[in-house]
A and B are shown apart, each in its own frame.
Chain A
Amino acid sequence: MNWTKRYPGWAMFAAMIGLLVFLWGMAVPLSAAPAPIGPAADQFVEGARITVGLTLIAGSVGVVIGVLAGLGKLSRFGPLRWLCDSYVWLIRGTPLLLQILFVWLAFPLLMPEGIELSDFACAAIALSLNVGAYNTECVRAGILAVPHGQVEAARALGLTPIQTFMDVVLPQSMRVALPALANNLASLVKDSSLAYAISVVELTMVGYRVQAESYQPIPVFITVAAIYLILTTAFTTLTAALEAQLDVGQKR
């Protein structure tokens, strides 16, 4: 952790490269492993890629949703505020599994004819909406934590409201919101496993299938757990480094 604080740029770089190398190269040690892991190496790799894909997509879309809805919640325009409040209330008050099933089963009925969503897309949409609602609260708190004098200074210099938000308010609010956003991202790695319910073959589903074929749950689930731990560690390092990067100018 100290290392991430001292060299945030390098830590971010290392975590990202590490993640890529891992996704690329994990097949090599896995296929060298004895049965039941070795023969199923490709499935594990594919499952890990799906899990990381879901996490990255829902993670990024979720941050955008969080910023927009967080701003919406602070809007002076009543209906917009109401809409964002309702969204957060709805998502936080219902189980993620229900949301995933809803997108999978109910969206096709609501969508116009001819548009078909893949199972993966359904999972990505549900996870984005879910993490977005949790991010909304963090972003809102972050924005409220920015002292009003910062906005006044920017406006007095002639910056437009959008420039003031992008150059001053957003970066400063992120410094406050980031630990909580990072938490949500780490949860997302694990929450994405619920996509198995709509037959997305992510990492947990792979483990389930492989142990069902081999009747050896212990080595299979240990392998799955190890892969999850490597993924969550990479994401945590990434966000901790980003935090250290943004922290610049706050302490020291």
Chain B
Amino acid sequence: MNGELRPIIEARRVDKRFGAFHALKDVSATFYEGQVTAIVGPSGSGKSTFLRTLNRLEMHDSGEIVVDGIVLNDNLKNLDAIRREVGMVFQSFNLFSHLTILRNVSLAPMRVRKMRREDAESKAMSLLERVGLKNQAAKYPVQLSGGQQQRVAIARALAMDPKVLLFDEPTSALDPEMVNEVLAVMRELAYSGITMLVVTHEMGFAREVADRIIFFDEGVILEDTTPERFFANPEHDRAKSFLSQVRHGY
């Protein structure tokens, strides 16, 4: 199947330390266009660090990361180019608190893509409609619920037409009753064909939506497989105990 797929992110032997702590140990993985990958694993295993090295919010110490053919290094032009292609949704939403919802979504296209204000705003409105929040456009982030804020954050990332969307535990900061509205938007995105890397504890979502599961443990990718195999028959004991904990704990 991989023969017909185009690689969009390639991580080769990526290594990262925080002081003495070895957060990523020689991590390699290739992600393909249109693929939805769920990244799971215990807390502190390096999932966020890995995701954040992919758009250089964290710098890796060694190894190579190539996004859409562009090598991620100290060249700032490359970095800007990559950040335009890779959108990110954070656990804590991080909406710009001093801007309206409409401005939150239209700011980056205006500044980075040099879109005209009217164009950026009409695009923002259609994205807000897509996440079901068109009527909230004039409000400020504090006036919205967590679930609504996260849907705005998704619209904000989409406004840059990214080739890849990174999600770092997008539902972990939400009250339980708001998780589904965000997952519904993500499900719709996944089926629309956008490449997604999703760090999540929502095993139901991972199983249903993901094409691929990556299991992180202590800074290494321990399993890289299909949801069917991962949930039915994980190879490693660490994955088995993780799954049984998740089933009972979350």
A175 near B83 with CB under 8 A, answer: no
Prevailing SS type, chain A contact patch: helix
- The proximity string for A residues 155-174 relative to B, scoring 1 for CB distances below 8 Å and 0 otherwise, is 11111100100011001100
Contact A157/B94 with A167-B111, A249-B99, A252-B143 known, Cβ cut-off 8 Å:
no
Most buried by B among A157, A160, A167, A248: A157
A149 near B94 with CB under 8 A, answer: yes
B80 near A160 with CB under 8 A, answer: yes
Contact A249/B111 with A153-B90, A156-B55 known, Cβ cut-off 8 Å:
no
5 contacts between A and B (CB under 8 A): A150-B97, A154-B96, A156-B88, A157-B107, A249-B142
Distance of A168 Cα from B98 Cα, bound (Å) = 8
Q: Please pick, from A155, A159, A171, the residue contacting B98 in the complex, using a CB distance under 8 A.
A: A171
A158 near B112 with CB under 8 A, answer: yes
Distance of A150 Cα from B153 Cα, bound (Å) = 12
A252 near B142 with CB under 8 A, answer: yes
A157 near B98 with CB under 8 A, answer: no
- A116, CB-defined interface residue at 8 Å: no
User: Which residues of B are found within 8 Å of A149, using beta-carbon distances?
Assistant: 90, 92, 94
Contact A249/B98 with A157-B108, A158-B84 known, Cβ cut-off 8 Å:
yes
Distance of A134 Cα from B128 Cα, bound (Å) = 43
Q: Please pick, from A158, A163, A172, the residue contacting B97 in the complex, using a CB distance under 8 A.
A: A172
Q: Please pick, from B111, B140, B160, the residue contacting A248 in the complex, using a CB distance under 8 A.
A: B140
Q: Besides A156-B55, A158-B84, A158-B112, 15 other CB < 8 A contacts?
A: A153-B90, A153-B96, A153-B153, A156-B87, A157-B83, A157-B108, A159-B112, A171-B98, A172-B96, A172-B98, A246-B98, A249-B100, A250-B97, A250-B142, A252-B142
The size class of the interface chain A forms with chain B is: 20 to 34
Distance of A246 Cα from B97 Cα, bound (Å) = 11
B90 near A157 with CB under 8 A, answer: no
- How near does chain A come to B30, taking the closest CB pair, in angstroms? 22
User: Which residues of A are found within 8 Å of B57, using beta-carbon distances?
Assistant: 152, 155-156
Contact A156/B83 with A163-B111, A252-B142 known, Cβ cut-off 8 Å:
yes
Number of A-B contacts (CB under 8 A): 74
User: Which residues of B are found within 8 Å of A168, using beta-carbon distances?
Assistant: 96, 98
Distance of A153 Cα from B142 Cα, bound (Å) = 17
Q: Which residue of B lies closest to A148 (CB)?
A: B94
- The proximity string for B residues 53-69 relative to A, scoring 1 for CB distances below 8 Å and 0 otherwise, is 00101000000000000
3 nearest interchain CB pairs? Answer: A249-B140, A153-B94, A157-B108
Q: Which residue of B lies closest to A168 (CB)?
A: B96
User: Which residues of A are found within 8 Å of B97, using beta-carbon distances?
Assistant: 150, 172, 249-250
Distance of A250 Cα from B142 Cα, bound (Å) = 7
Distance of A156 Cα from B83 Cα, bound (Å) = 6
User: Which residues of A are found within 8 Å of B140, using beta-carbon distances?
Assistant: 248-249, 252
- The proximity string for A residues 238-252 relative to B, scoring 1 for CB distances below 8 Å and 0 otherwise, is 000000001011111
- B157, CB-defined interface residue at 8 Å: yes
Q: Which of B93-143 contact A (CB under 8 A)?
A: 94-100, 107-108, 111-112, 140-143
Contact A152/B90 with A158-B84, A249-B142, A252-B143 known, Cβ cut-off 8 Å:
yes
- How near does chain A come to B156, taking the closest CB pair, in angstroms? 7
Q: Please pick, from A156, A167, A250, the residue contacting B107 in the complex, using a CB distance under 8 A.
A: A167
Contact A158/B98 with A149-B90, A249-B140, A252-B140 known, Cβ cut-off 8 Å:
no
- How near does chain B come to A129, taking the closest CB pair, in angstroms? 30
B142 near A158 with CB under 8 A, answer: no
